[in-house]
Structure 1
């Protein structure tokens, strides 16, 4: 993310209106906007794989899958993020055209420039969403997925998936192999793939 210096403070309403016509996506954090960078081949391929398998899974369930261009609204913190993928099963989200407030699942495909933010501040911010049951971080440099799942005591537990394991997403009663997630992804020779 890169801070846009075009305005010192932007209201949420002005932000939402400007995003409708902006050529560049921006995330909104407490009055400041941050330009979003482009994505690598691996990032786009992983995202496309997840869209294909998740969309087929939730079809007819009443849940909706959103990709990259839909904002997640964290009202208590005055924040709008663009998750890579987001699933909401809450009918109240049908009332919002440009953002969703009640996701049960958020997935971020990690990039070297965003991994620290995705694991740190964003995860902390997303925890404010009472509807969120799972926050999933997908590596694009090796076959590894970290799933943070909210337990019955409202504490977050980490489930790491590697190699030939099956990814489990309890929020939508879903599982698939990591090979499905990483289909057609080429890892660099210098990057180590965890077996």
Structure 2
């Protein structure tokens, strides 16, 4: 078991990104270019719309700290938007308003399970986007009066309302220039 302070200290020197869950450290895998293009498009689109406003997007080099009653976790979301940022001297954020994870074969189960459960406990979180990297589909969890509601947006015409930020996010901009894999056609026997 490693303490959060030791994790943060050694993470600064680590040649690979590692996430921290309740005293254990897990190395992150590498991602395909498609994953990085989608994350980059999302970051650039959010940055352009947030220019001059108090909220700011952070890329996957910024950790997210989640404090639970009996442990702490640090994750590296693909993108997060924070309206009340930590000190510029920190290497993590505590109060994201929007979190974006790009789904890949190696991350889908964690992003849709463990991280979903953890992220939805963050009091400041308004929207969690799960962006598929194999087809134009984004699953969105948005906070409402009675908790989080799940919606699905599909195709180039899909537009995700980000009321907490005051603008919409078109799927066409998230997937701009992305070559998606061909869908397999399964024939009935």
Question: Structure 1 length as normaliser, TM-score?
Answer: 0.89
1:91-132 residue CA offsets vs partner (Å, 9 max, x unmatched): 5x2366111111111000001111111111111111221011
Could you say which residue in structure 2 is the equivalent of 1:139? 132
CA contact (8 A) 1:43 1:140 kept: yes
Distance 1:185 1:179 in 2: 10
CA contact (8 A) 1:146 1:158 kept: yes
Distance 1:85 1:52 in 2: 10
> Is the aligned partner of 1:28 residue 2:23?
no
Could you say which residue in structure 1 is the equivalent of 2:75? 81
CA contact (8 A) 1:106 1:136 kept: yes
CA contact (8 A) 1:141 1:191 kept: no
Corresponding residue pairs, total: 182
Q: What are the within-5 Å matches in structure 2 for residues 107-146 of structure 1?
A: 107-146=100-139
Higher mean C-alpha displacement, 164-173 vs 26-35: 164-173
Q: CA RMSD in A?
A: 1.4
Is there any run of 5+ residues in structure 2 with no aligned partner, and where? Answer: none
CA contact (8 A) 1:47 1:85 kept: yes
CA contact (8 A) 1:142 1:191 kept: no
Q: What are the within-5 Å matches in structure 2 for residues 52-67 of structure 1?
A: 52-67=44-59
Distance 1:87 1:170 in 2: 13
Deviation >3 Å, runs of 4+: none
Question: Structure 2 length as normaliser, TM-score?
Answer: 0.91
Structure 1 pair 99–67 and aligned structure 2 pair: CA distance change class (3 A): same
CA contact (8 A) 1:144 1:161 kept: yes
CA contact (8 A) 1:88 1:103 kept: yes
Structure 1 pair 96–146 and aligned structure 2 pair: CA distance change class (3 A): farther
Could you say which residue in structure 2 is the equivalent of 1:3? none
Higher mean C-alpha displacement, 119-128 vs 94-103: 94-103
